[in-house]
Structure 1
């Protein structure tokens, strides 16, 4: 487990220094739409000179993303990973082979077919059955959730 903590700390550090270079471009240089251009590269180089123990401050990371939504090409198998369901499979075409993509949804490491949903857990079923009991005019959604959680804990 210690390796996982160190690994995650390294990723946070690398991401933070990368984003601080963007902040310097905006705050110090007053440039808003620089992306990873020459001014951003200037700040990245300056950080690497100042903090020589850091790895190269890169434009892109190279670690695997554990994404919930995976779009897979039906032709060549190319995969596009996303945290949100942001791509339209009716319009998305593979840049390699020009075939269509299909959507796979991962739920805690398990692949689900698009449209399939995992079975609701016990608390979700409890909320579904009891929400109307607490939702009255003037009662906020957060208050309903709080009351439901108390009621559920008493079971």
Structure 2
């Protein structure tokens, strides 16, 4: 008599790295960074963004600059920074939020010194956007996540 044995296959849960972008108003830099990381990681990274004093809407010049790249951030809503968001993130990237960001041991923190696009037109926002894209590509390499082709 032969018995058929079925091997149980177990798949380990995939853990994606998680990144939190923080700026004061969560309306420009952090929203552009989140848009790029979401797009360029093709779902390979869990993306969050928040602000220490969130604005009521995303900066229209940032929305326009990202639309030029084929990334729509118009529907995003500025969100208040919470301790839970920091705790749930592997990497926390601040963009001028000062001391508002809580520090937890074991987290990777970076401060990206970028000009604030608040009150500027799309022409002034483009170089900020382009610098954010460059940094996102570097970050993806450091996280071991391939850059999705556009």
TM-score range, shorter chain: under 0.3
Higher helix residue share: 1
TM-score (normalised: structure 1): 0.19
Q: Higher relative contact order by CA 8 Å / sep ≥ 6: 1 or 2?
A: 2
TM normalised by structure 2 equals: 0.19
